[in-house]
Amino acid sequence: MAQRLDGKALAQEIQLALAQQVKTLTAKTGRPPGLAVIMVGDDPASATYVRNKHRACDRIGIASYGKHLPASTPQTELLNYIQQLNQDDRVDGILLQLPLPQDLDAVTLLNSIAPDKDVDGLHPINMGRLLRGEPGLRSCTPAGVMHLLQTYDVPIAGRHAVVLGRSILVGKPMALMLLAANATVTIAHSSTRDLVAVTRQADILVTAVGRPHLITAGMVNPGTTVIDVGINRVEHPNGKGKLVGDVDFAAVEPLVQAITPVPGGIGPMTVAMLLQNTVLSYCKRFHIDG
């Protein structure tokens, strides 16, 4: 049976350490770190994520300046609000919750966030810093994956990592982070030929495509570490829903070296990295070695 990589427990440890750090820093600077989370519209999954982020902020002492705007909010109004947050000295991090309503241009809005407040690590400047191997704010989900792998002493250097998915949110930054850790990296996607042959080569398989149970027992090897970033809601005939990953966990777990569960794997680590990025941004603004 595979070793379960417990992201929930690790995220709790990170938050405990951050809470102590924030307490010390707040006494020194006179104010806590501040995080502004902007949600537009009424996507149920987004609403859950935002609530979890606010609760996590409360637990560790970060001031939360969330705002929930209607789906009809014009692009110009949202841009103006982001510019206000860019200038707000109480705010160290700004997060624009995705997905946005279809009428809004997410790229323009994300690019309008000040790079040093871009705690989601999606601004072109921060992505460029990642590409060049320079210090900067990193995309939260891939950073959470790396932290989990390193904490559990999963070998990365010299191993073959396969990243399934090529989004700017997870797939591309994930591949760059693994490459920076000296893995040999393959990115697979919807146009990849013979996906089974590709995934079976993986020492580390990271899947982030949003397709429930895409990865089956025949797509992995006994030595593989499987990182399931997918979070999919599956509805049962009785009307009750269940969260599942991109991996058929029950079938794959007995066969591989290590695996993350869904829920309880990468989701909590993403929130922990968001909080960590906020504290890093705060420390940079006060010229404190974080």
CB 31, CB 4: distance < 8 Å: no
Q: Cα–Cα distance between 210 and 244 in angstroms, integer?
A: 10
Told to judge if 42 belongs to the known catalytic residues of this protein, a careful annotator would answer no
Q: Which of 6, 92, 120, 228 is catalytic?
A: 120
- Closest Cα partner for 5 from 284, 277, 256, 281? 256
Does residue 37 sit in helix, strand or coil? strand
CB 77, CB 112: distance < 8 Å: no
The total of other beta-carbon atoms located within 10 Å of residue 119's CB is 29
Q: Which of 6, 21, 92, 97 is catalytic?
A: 97
Q: Cα–Cα distance between 81 and 278 in angstroms, integer?
A: 19
Annotated ligand binding at 200? The verdict is no
HSE, CB side, 13 Å, CA atoms: give it for residue 158: 1
Instruction: Write the burial class of residue 249 (CB in 10 Å: 0-12 exposed, 13-18 middle, 19+ buried).
Output: buried
Annotated ligand binding at 264? The verdict is no
Told to judge if 75 belongs to the known catalytic residues of this protein, a careful annotator would answer no
Q: Is the peptide bond before 32 cis (omega within 30 degrees of 0)?
A: no
Annotated ligand binding at 167? The verdict is yes
Q: Give 25's contacts (C-beta < 8 A, 6+ positions apart).
A: 32, 33, 279, 282, 283, 286, 288
Told to judge if 120 belongs to the known catalytic residues of this protein, a careful annotator would answer yes
Alpha helices in the chain (DSSP H): 7-29, 44-60, 75-87, 106-111, 124-132, 140-151, 171-180, 195-199, 249-252, 266-285
State both tokens at 77.
Answer: 């109004």
Residues annotated in the binding site, as ranges? 165-167, 231
By annotation, the residues acting in catalysis are 53, 97, 120
Residue numbering of the annotated binding site for NADP(+)? 165-167, 231
